[in-house]
Amino acid sequence: MSDLEKPLRPKKARSWVDWAVQFRWIIVILVVLPCSFTFYSLDYLRSQWSASKSYKKRQKEHDANVAKVIKRLKERDPKKDGLVCTARKPWVAVGMRNVDYKRARHFEVDLSPFGQILDIDTKNMIARVEPLVNMGQISRATVPLGVSLAVVAELDDLTVGGLINGYGIEGSSHIYGLFSDTVVAYEIILADGRLVRATADNEHKELFYAIPWSQGTLGLLVAAEIKLIPVKEYMKVTYIPVRGSLRDLAQAYIDSFCPADGDQDSADKVPDFVEAMIYNRNEGVMMTGRYASREEAKQRGNKINEQGWWFKPWFYQHAQTALDKGEFVEYIPTREYYHRHTRCLYWEGKLILPFADQFWFRWLMGWAMPPKVSFLKATQGDAIRNYYHERHIIQDMLVPLHKVADALEFSDREFEVYPIWLCPHRLFRTPIKTMITPEPSFELYQRQGDTSYAQMYTDVGVYYTPEPVFRGEEYDGAAAVRKMEQWLIDNHGFQPQYAVTELNEHDFWRMFDATLYNACREKYRAVGTFMSVYYKCKKGRKTEQEVKQEEQKVHDNGYKDLERPLDA
C-alpha cells in the first residue's frame, strides 16, 4: 500500500502512560529479570526432581492430586458458590487476555500440582503428561531420547493445558496440524466429579473433539496422552530471501513447502519445518528445516549455529541477514531450534528492553533473558495494560493458505506492524464437526497445500507496536482488531483466544461453530458449573451475577439461532 493510501491520523499528545511505557525497561531490569531468572532456575530444579522420581511414584502423586480435585468439586454448593475456575492467578497465564472472569466471585480449584511428565513411552510413541508441563520441560526430557512431541510450540513457558484448551502451533504443523491434533487421549474431571478418559473412538469421542478451543469450560484437564515422533540431533535450516510485493512474498512462502505437483504427503518434497518472516512490505525470509544427524551436521564445510547460547544474535535478526548475504544453510541443535524464539519473545523483546539485542547486553545479561511474561503482566498495572490493548497489537490470524496474500495486505493497511510471522498448519476434516472447520468443499478446488483430508491454513502472527504509534499519531488498536475479526469471519478465518478479543457473542459464534460444544456442555452438565467459552474470553470485567445470568441464558435458549445437534 502506498503512502498516499494510508489513513491520515492526527498527532497524539503524550501522557504519563506513554512515558511509563517508554521507561518500563527500568522495572524490567531491576525487578522482572531477577525474578524471572530465579523462577526459571527453581522451575528447572523442580522438573529435575520430578524426573528423578519413579513412574509409580509420579502416578501415585497424580492419583492423589486427582482425588483432591474431585473432593474439592464435590464441596461446591451451586446455590451459593461461584462458577468453577482454576486457582491460578490472572497474571500467571502467558496469554494477553485480562482474565477478567476471575475478578468476580468464583469457586477455585487448585491445579498447581499438575506439572509432571508422567511417562514417556518410546515403544508406543506416546508421552503422558499433566497440563502444567511446559514446552521447555517436555523437550528437555524427550529430545535426548531421540523423540519429541510432533508439535513443540516455540516458547518455553507455554503449557500443555493452554495449548490444548486454547491454541498451539509450530513449524511442523503443516504436517501434524495444531497441537491439539497430536493428542490421542484426554483425562478430564467433569462437573459432577467423574474422571473420564476421552479418545477419538471411545464412548466420550464427542468430548474428545470438543475439548480443543474450549478454554477449559467442559471440564478440568488433568492429563493428556500426546503423540511422539522420532527426531535427529540437528535441524538443517535453509534461509531463502525474497523481495517483491506482499503477494510475491505470499507466493514464495507457499512455494517453500507446497510441491507444485500437489504431492503434499511426500517426505522428500515437503520439509519437516516451515516458517517465514515478513520484515516489511517488500522483503521477507522463508525458512525450511529438515532433521539431520550429528554425523551429517559435522561434515566438513557445514556450518553449525549453537543458537541456544545467551550471547547469540536474536533469531529473527539472524534470519534477516539473509537479505544481505543471500540464501544460506546451517545446522542448529534440534532443541535449540525448537525454542529459537524464546529468548527474544519473537521480537517483542525489542520493545520490552530496547537495547537487549545489542552485543554488549547479550554478553552481560543475555543469560537472564527472557523476562517471564507473567511477571511482566504482574508489574504493569491497569493503565499500562489498557495502553497495550489500545496502542499495541498481539494477534494471530488463522487463514486459509490461498488467502495469505489478502491477509498480509489487510495487516499492512490496518495494523502497519512488522515483522510478521507466517506458520502453516493443517486443518483436518474430522468425523465430528468441531469449533474450527475447513472451508466447505475445499477439496474440490485442489489448491496448493490442500489434500482430500485437510485444508492448509496459515497463522499470520502480528506482534508489535504499529507504525502510527511510533510516528506519534492517534491509533485505535481496538477498532483495528474489530476490523480484523470481521475480516476473519468473512474469510473463514479464526482468532486464537489467548489474545484480547473485541467480538460480541453473536459474532463469536459466527467465527466458531457452536454445534458440538453446546451439545457437550449439556451432555456433561457443564452449564451452571463452568462458564461458557465466550464469557471466559470476552473483554471487560464481569460480575458473578452477570456470568450466571448469561450461563442460564445458554441453558434456556441454547443459541436458538444456531444449528443444534441431537443429544448424543
Q: What is residue 131's three-state secondary structure?
A: coil
Q: Do 218 and 252 belong together in one domain?
A: no
What's the pLDDT band for 549 if we cut at 50, 70, 90?
A: low
- Report the distance separating Cα 86 and Cα 108, nearest Å: 5
The pLDDT, as a whole number, for residue 558 is 38
Q: Look at residue 360 and tell me if it is in a domain.
A: yes
The pLDDT, as a whole number, for residue 103 is 60
The pLDDT, as a whole number, for residue 387 is 83
- Report the distance separating Cα 400 and Cα 402, nearest Å: 5
* Beta-carbon-side half-sphere exposure of residue 427 (alpha carbons within 13 Å): 25
Of the chain, the percentage scoring pLDDT greater than 70 comes to: 91
CATH number for the domain including 103?
3.30.465.10
Q: Do 257 and 332 belong together in one domain?
A: yes
Bridge partners (DSSP) listed for residue 223: 187
- Report the distance separating Cα 333 and Cα 140, nearest Å: 12
Bridge partners (DSSP) listed for residue 280: 283
State if pTM tops 0.85: yes
Q: Look at residue 215 and tell me if it is in a domain.
A: yes
Answer yes or no: is pLDDT of 99 > 70: no
What's the pLDDT band for 563 if we cut at 50, 70, 90?
A: very low
| pLDDT tens figures, 179-197 | 999 999 999 999 999 999 9
What's the pLDDT band for 12 if we cut at 50, 70, 90?
A: confident
Answer yes or no: is pLDDT of 436 > 70: yes
Q: Look at residue 547 and tell me if it is in a domain.
A: no
Answer yes or no: is pLDDT of 463 > 70: yes
Q: Look at residue 529 and tell me if it is in a domain.
A: no
Tell me the C-alpha to C-alpha distance, in Å, between residue 172 and each of 288, 526, 557.
10, 34, 41
Q: Do 312 and 394 belong together in one domain?
A: no
The pLDDT, as a whole number, for residue 3 is 52
- Report the distance separating Cα 157 and Cα 146, nearest Å: 22
Question: Looking at 502, 518, 553, which one is the last position of a domain?
Answer: 502
Residue identified by cell 463469536 is: 508
Answer yes or no: is pLDDT of 98 > 80: no
The pLDDT, as a whole number, for residue 561 is 40
Q: Do 65 and 157 belong together in one domain?
A: yes
- Report the distance separating Cα 207 and Cα 194, nearest Å: 14
381: left (phi over 0), alpha (psi -120 to 50) or beta: left
Question: Looking at 444, 468, 502, which one is the last position of a domain?
Answer: 502
Tally of domains within the chain: 3
- Return the sign of the alpha-carbon dihedral for residues 201, 203, 204, 210: positive
Q: Look at residue 9 and tell me if it is in a domain.
A: no
Question: Looking at 502, 520, 554, which one is the last position of a domain?
Answer: 502
Q: Look at residue 536 and tell me if it is in a domain.
A: no
Domain around 420:
386-502
How buried is residue 59: exposed, middle or buried, by Cβ count under 10 Å (0-12/13-18/19+)? middle
Answer yes or no: is pLDDT of 223 > 50: yes
The pLDDT, as a whole number, for residue 8 is 66
The pLDDT, as a whole number, for residue 13 is 80
Q: Do 119 and 188 belong together in one domain?
A: yes
Q: Do 352 and 257 belong together in one domain?
A: yes
| pLDDT tens figures, 32-65 | 999 999 999 999 999 999 999 999 999 999 999 9
Task: Kindly list the strands in the beta sheet with 234-243, ordered across the sheet, starting from the edge strand earlier in the chain.
Answer: 328-333, 234-243, 283-292, 273-280, 420-428, 454-464, 393-400
What's the pLDDT band for 556 if we cut at 50, 70, 90?
A: very low
How many CB atoms sit inside 10 A of residue 303's CB?
10
Per the prediction, the chain carries an average pLDDT of 90
Q: Do 326 and 400 belong together in one domain?
A: no
Q: Do 287 and 350 belong together in one domain?
A: yes
Give the burial string for 272-289 (b: 16+ CB within 10 Å, else e): bbbbbbbbebebbbbbbb
Q: Do 356 and 448 belong together in one domain?
A: no
Q: Do 191 and 239 belong together in one domain?
A: no
Q: Look at residue 534 and tell me if it is in a domain.
A: no
Q: Look at residue 561 and tell me if it is in a domain.
A: no
What's the pLDDT band for 528 if we cut at 50, 70, 90?
A: confident
Q: Which residue has the higher pLDDT, 232 or 538?
A: 232
The pLDDT, as a whole number, for residue 83 is 83
DSSP structure class, residue 431: S
Answer yes or no: is pLDDT of 567 > 50: no
Q: Do 330 and 443 belong together in one domain?
A: no
The pLDDT, as a whole number, for residue 32 is 94
Q: Do 196 and 69 belong together in one domain?
A: yes
CATH number for the domain including 462?
3.30.70
313: left (phi over 0), alpha (psi -120 to 50) or beta: beta
| pLDDT tens figures, 482-521 | 999 999 999 999 999 888 889 999 999 999 999 999 999 9
